[in-house]
Amino acid sequence: MSKLKILVINGPNLNMLGIREPDIYGKMTYPKLCEFIKEKADEAGIETCFFQSNHEGAIIDEIHSAYQKFDGIVINPGAFTHYSYAILDALKSVDIPTAEIHISDVDSREEFRKISVIRPACCVCIYGRGYQGYVDAVYELTEKISIK
Ligand code: DQA
């Protein structure tokens, strides 16, 4: 059986991990986070690719180019989570099983963070588990894809 392929997308300011509000987002850098996710995914025989951008259109282009190439998408859209209907539409367009992930517990922070406009396009939603949340998202998503 060929390996499942998961695209891990990170949105704005996530390239600043390790520097950005470490009390909320932790001390690991973005490259280290990717290594950590890849290592855990490799252990489970799952292939991962990584993409980060601070630009909404670039994220949309990446989602489009995942069509027929990836089995699943794990996405932390950063602040776009709370207002980007364009990212929601892009996810709906390609109809690839998607997991939404947030490092912080978005439900216990400011009011605006409690709203996710992309959630209707996601079959898994994980938040407040730190970096481990990405690994959990990859595993939970692949479980859903495998039983489909
Ligand atoms: C975040 C939460 C968002 O509200 C915020 O804008 C981010 C990161 C998280 O991972 O906890 O950039 O998605």
List, in order of start, the domains of the chain with CATH numbers.
Answer: 4-147 (3.40.50.9100)
Active site residue 25: yes
Q: Which two tokens stand for residue 67?
A: 């069509």
- pLDDT value for 148: 67
- Cα 30 to Cα 5, 14, 81, 110: the distances in Å are 20, 7, 19, 24
CB atoms within 10 A of CB 36: 15
**Torsion sign across C-alpha atoms 12, 18, 20, 22:** positive
pLDDT at 147: 79
What is the pLDDT, as a whole number, of residue 2? 83
Q: Which residues of the chain have pLDDT under 70?
A: 1, 148
Ligand 1 pocket test, candidate residues 13, 19, 28, 102, most atoms within 8 A of CB? 102
Give yes or no for residue 122 CB within 6 A of ligand 1.
Answer: no
Q: Is the beta carbon of 15 within 6 A of some atom in ligand 1?
A: no
Exposed/middle/buried for residue 21 (C-beta within 10 Å: 0-12, 13-18, 19+): exposed
Determine contact, residues 103/132, Cβ cutoff 8 Å: no
Which pLDDT belongs to residue 63? Answer: 98
Q: Whole-model pTM? A: 0.97
